[in-house]
Structure 1
Amino acid sequence: MKAAFFILSIATLLAYAECINQVTIAMRKNEVIPDVVSQGPKAELRVKYDRKAVHLGNVLTPTQTKNKPDIVSWKFDNNAFYTLIFTAPDGPSRANPKYREVIKWLVVNIPANNINKGEVLAEYIGAGPSKNAGLARYVFLVYKQKGKQNFDEKPIDKYSFDPRKHFSTRNFTQKYKMENVPVAADFFQARYDSYVPVLYKQVHYNPDS
């Protein structure tokens, strides 16, 4: 019985390590490491838009991601607080990332994994790659905080673009002394579709300016 339990435990650990390795490999292959973070996460983050899962840089459309995901979940400590970062390093394009990073969604002081009870510092906006940009990367990250904290950033509403520019995941997490390694992460890629002009109008962004 003990031997069977030991074998099962080893198998579980190996599967867990393989999952982490896949995330880190995908992040390195697509240069999320080092463009956004320096290290891979402790685990893969589960994110789903309706029936479309975010998984290791797969391709979703701006239309599919225009609303907040239905599911964002990670392995959590009931007594801990977390920060959720959704960021775009390729603004306006991967070839010309002059806005790197554009913060798409930022929620802090999340108790356990109850995002609805967290403090929203940047309201959600979806993927909005430029027309001729090709594929752009969109990254979800979760960090564990050192308890509930006071954040001095001015909240950003869903109708604003300029305050979202030049966000830095590294600087933000260092400023608030969060753990260096993300608790969980994953990312997708997207290219321009018919929803993008709608988003640009919403946030008062002129791509030709």
Structure 2
Amino acid sequence: MNDLVPDVVDEVLPKGKLQVTYAVGVTVQEGNELTPTQVKDEPQVTWEEEHGQLYTLLMVDPDAPSRADPKYREILHWAVINIPGNKLNLGQSLAEYIGSGPPEGSGLHRYVFLLYRQNQKIENSQHIDKRTREGRISFSARQFAEKHGLGQPIAGNFYEAQYDDYVPILHKSFSG
């Protein structure tokens, strides 16, 4: 599916589907093209939950700085752990949401949402705010999942985006 295997995950995205909806009324539909302007604000994400279960949600861009030259694979765009059920707002934010910011001329980038079922609560005090690049570049969803014993993702979704006029505004917001 769009080379997500092997670029991001080891197996085809799982049967479970994440419903990802942005405030402007657009939804992520397994590879549809959205603009950075449409996805600049944190989306609503829902999934079929198991009662009493904790989850981890990751969003990554494996195509940095471009799909042809992904030397910074992956960029972490969002990470929330210890989500009770599908109450994303009650989870612990490790990396605040940042929208798509592909460099001008770099073509389409894939933005991948991955949901993992946790076996236990993850103890982690890390927090990356939305103005910080540090801790986001050369992130690995695989290594994160392995470190925390998450196994393969149980649900996922993705969209593609390329440069638009919002990207310079986003890039100016970063402090480091």
Pairwise same-fold verdict (TM > 0.5): yes
Instruction: Specify the alignment match of 2:161 in structure 1.
Output: 190
Structure number having the greater helix percentage = 1
| Among candidates 39, 49, 70, match of residue 76 of structure 1 | 49
Instruction: Give, in whole Å, the separation in 1 of the partners of 2:175 and 2:78.
Output: 17
Larger Rg: 1
| Among candidates 116, 123, 131, match of residue 143 of structure 1 | 116
What is the TM-score normalised by the length of structure 1?
A: 0.80
Q: Write out per-residue CA displacement over residues 34-78 of structure 1, whole angstroms, 9 at most, x where no aligned residue.
A: 100011213111101121010110000000000001x21111112
Instruction: Give, in whole Å, the separation in 1 of the partners of 2:90 and 2:165.
Output: 33
Shift of 1:147: 2.1
Q: Partner amino acid for 2:111?
A: Y
Once superposed, what is the RMSD of the aligned Cα atoms? 1.2
Instruction: Give, in whole Å, the separation in 2 of the partners of 1:87 and 1:160.
Output: 15
The alignment status of 1:55 with 2:34, answered yes or no, reads no
Q: Write out per-residue CA displacement over residues 64-109 of structure 1, whole angstroms, 9 at most, x where no aligned residue.
A: 000001x211111121100000111011111111111000000000
Comparing both chains, which one has the higher relative contact order based on Cα–Cα distances under 8 Å and sequence gaps of 6 or more? 2
Q: Write out per-residue CA displacement over residues 113-132 of structure 1, whole angstroms, 9 at most, x where no aligned residue.
A: 10111000001100011100
Give runs of ≥4 in structure 1 deviating > 2 Å. Answer: none
Instruction: Give, in whole Å, the separation in 2 of the partners of 1:201 and 1:86.
Output: 21
Instruction: Specify the alignment match of 1:116 in structure 2.
Output: 89
> Where do 5+ consecutive residues of structure 1 fail to align?
1-27
Shift of 1:151: 2.3
Shift of 1:149: 2.1
Shift of 1:179: 2.8
What is the TM-score normalised by the length of structure 2?
A: 0.95
Shift of 1:163: 1.9
Q: Partner amino acid for 1:185?
A: G
Aligned length: 174
The alignment status of 1:155 with 2:117, answered yes or no, reads no
- The SS at the match of 2:135 is helix
